[in-house]
Structure 1
Amino acid sequence: MLLSFAVKNFGSIKDRKEISFLKTGLSGFAGNYVKLTKTESVLKSAVIYGPNASGKSNYLKAFRAMEYLVIHSSNYKLDESIEPYEPFLLDNTCAVSPVEMDISFFYESIQYDYSISFSSKRIEREELFCYPAKSKSLLYSRTAEKDMKFGDYYKGVKKAIEKLLLPNQLFLSKASDNNIDVLKSAYLFFRRGLSVFPLMEDHMESSMAMLYAKRLAEGSSSKFARRFNALICSLDTGISSVTAKERDWQDGALSDLPEEVKTKIKEQYKYEIRTLHPVFENGVKVDERAFEIRSESTGTQSLFAIGGILLDALDKGRVLVVDEFEKNLHPEITKYFIRMFHNPDINQKNAQLIFATHDVSQLSNDHFRRDQVWFTSKDEFGSTEIRRCSDIPGLRLGTPIDKWYASGRIGSTPQIDDRNFIIEMQNGSESEN
């Protein structure tokens, strides 16, 4: 489970900004959090609101950057650039300073604190702590151009891995290649416990749909297939069932393409999803008719991608990070998806959801606790600010947050100054030479 995540000098985020999943002293909404210890409870979801270009996506993108480095940096070659290095560029000092990220999480019954700092071609700092006996204990600490330090709880190869470690590689990533048992859980959180989708673009939805088509085709009676069918058919789509089968490529299909390209396309689109709809006669169901998924509405097609992603997160107890997943969805369906994480009968493994949205209807008081809602904005220097709703003065229990936010009383809404635009439009109506 995610406890907190902080970012500094990344994208539009100049100063350190942290979102915490630890429950505050606010009462109510017992289904929205789970007890971690006798004194601490962890929230099951967090939502970020703010105007366009205020930093919502950059914050979520930072999750992807950290996940990518942990999983892939061991493959970096000597002097290869660190791809996720994206410093704040509106300040000359920050533009050449390291990116910093700190994450605290609970995985396989152990709490970890993990911090990294990196520049364009070098890991500047990396530290990993654990809490084996409720007290913070060092596993290892690394600073550029210095010998690593290892704590008493670190067991396994040290100097051999350190000697092989390149300046642009994370030790946690390199250690996973060398099967260091004491670091496995920390590494597997990023590999299995975290799912990051910074932006659900159309091509990504298509790729995810193909992935789920394969799973449906290869396991039509599997737990995933049954739950996927039950979810899609419950959302008033008019669909009675969903199937997938291997695509029948007609003779001559793709004949104008090179053989190598044809093979790649056939493998990528090997399976096709079909939806079954009831057929009626005189008001009585008499048959079912199959449609290819591309015949369905854009919203229904989006359901196939986000529905599968949500089911996977709930089934594995993952932390799901997704940007604007409500795209093309009715607000009631979005609301239902969020409530799946708050429903202990559905979310039996304490999966978590953190997402950004513009859907103000989700801010109603019967949906989120105030410590689950965060607002982004930009200061006069173009840097992202992040505020938790429960920390905003004047917001009391029962305050209609959705109405206050929509009216601009909370801030974090676009401030449109169209004076110059109107002047230009008026000038444009005159004849030009």
Structure 2
Amino acid sequence: MNRATQDVNPSSAPELQAAPAPVWIERGTREYLRVSLALFLAGFATFSLLYCVQPLLPALAQTFAVSPAQSALALSVSTACLAVSIVLAGALSEGLGRRKLMFISMALAAVCNLVASYLPHWHALLAARALEGILLGGVPAVAMAYLSEEIDPKGLGFAMGLYVGGTALGGMLGRVGMSAMTEFWGWRHALAALSVLDLLAALGFVWLLPNSRNFVKKSGLGARHHLQAWGRHLQHPGLPLLFLIAFGLMGVFVSIYNYAGFFLSAPPYGLNQLQISYVFYAYLFGMVASPIAGGLADKLGRGPVLIAGTLIMAAGVVLTMFQPLAVIVLGIVLLTAGFFVSHSVASSWVGRLATQAKGHASSLYLWGYYMGSSVLGAGAGWFWSRWGWTGVGQVALLVLALVVVLVLRVQWLGKQAAPATPAS
């Protein structure tokens, strides 16, 4: 199957002919392993720093005497600031370079998280979390752009899946580790310990990651250049749909996890912080599913695998609305595996559709991704306060249904661009 003709690609032939031939890092080589491990650490650090407060929401609500919806701001302010900074970081990386910007962002965000662990006031904590979100913007968009520029397209799905797998491990340890350490040491010491671990991850990242081969540093780029690059991506027939897909997928995922702690700590379950942390081991399934999904997308096409992942998420949401605790846990496992399948495929699809200014395209995708986390993650609190877990679940299912429609639309556009072959 020739997938190159299946992706929506409006780039002109002269532009493609003028571009120098890339020197790809091929799957199975030593460089491929180093890149995969480095980006795995980047994903780990980003997600563990960003989402380490999620299992702490009940503890933060108690410590600072705020409501569940207000406690969710500790996460939402970070993801909202991250969504904005990602767009700017993608533009900044065009002149500064990918590797340097990612390392600086990871290291400074870890330091900021360490400072946050000692702050005594709620609004000071929110300010630190906002700054952390701004700093972390230099990692996700640039990581996706680096992989798209350096990895052989035949192995891009698997490499992107490993990166997303790193985000799964970071998300799991950020939640499970924080819950366990909070139970024994308190949330402040737990937050500080995680910050030190992520500083070490940043050092490992910069040691492992090779310098870019295909990236061409651009200097003297003004605001007009970046606005035009973003504008071209937004005029693309398929890319804006992927940005909306990211918004929906991440919004649902974070909404369920944000309020799962409140749901499971209340009657009839009454679980404590340590018991609730065991639920987050579901991230292990996401970690395994991501590279598998990326490999399947390379072989079967991105559309079918993305739809399958979204339907698995929906099945998981449905199961969480049943009464037995074992069924709820199974639902969270399916939700998690389906999310990481969907995200790894959608993010690699962006790299295929964007044939130029990949940093700008990645930043727009992740803008949608983290805005979904911020808007839907916090907005679900309104449904939680009025209709409880049922309200959160029903909104999640509605959003996932819209995601499936958007994926089908992207597939249809691919068929229009290459009627002789199935869309990927």
Q: Aligning the two structures, in what range does the TM-score lie when normalised by the shorter sequence?
A: under 0.3
Which structure has more helix as a fraction of its residues? 2
Higher relative contact order (CA 8 A, sep 6+): 2
Between structure 1 and structure 2, the one with the greater Rg is: 1
In the superposition, the TM-score normalised over structure 2's length comes to: 0.25
Which structure has more strand as a fraction of its residues? 1
